[in-house]
Amino acid sequence: MGITKEEVEYIARLARLEFDETEKEAFTHQLDKILEYVDKINELDTSHVQPSSHVIPLENVLREDNVKESLPRDLVLANAPKKERGYFKVPKVIE
């Protein structure tokens, strides 16, 4: 079962990416190949293997609740294309 062009379009929309028809075709093909490759793992019997989400054998990496100074505000806003009264300013978003 392969990836369809519609799925590529859907994912592109979610990621706010725009592709032309040639790119869509190319990505459909490439994604399909990648999934096919990863599918190989299904040949193994993993029914007795604990699922893992992390590859490093670490857990509970924690820090104490101690304050660290924040960035100075002019630095925070230094790269903002638009700012106003200490805020970042973006095109109006309406919910």
Interaction site with other proteins (CB under 8 A): 10, 13-14, 16, 53-54, 56, 58-71, 73, 76-77, 82, 84-95
Q: How far apart are CA 28 and CA 61, in angstroms?
A: 39
Map tokens 């193994």 to a residue: 44
Cβ atoms < 10 Å from Cβ of 76: 13
Minimum Å gap between C-beta 11 and other proteins is 9
Minimum Å gap between C-beta 64 and other proteins is 6
Of 22 and 93, CB closest to other proteins: 93
Rg (alpha carbons) of the chain, rounded to whole number: 23
**Residue 44 in contact with residue 63, Cβ under 8 Å?**
no
Minimum Å gap between C-beta 80 and other proteins is 9
Of 11 and 26, CB closest to other proteins: 11
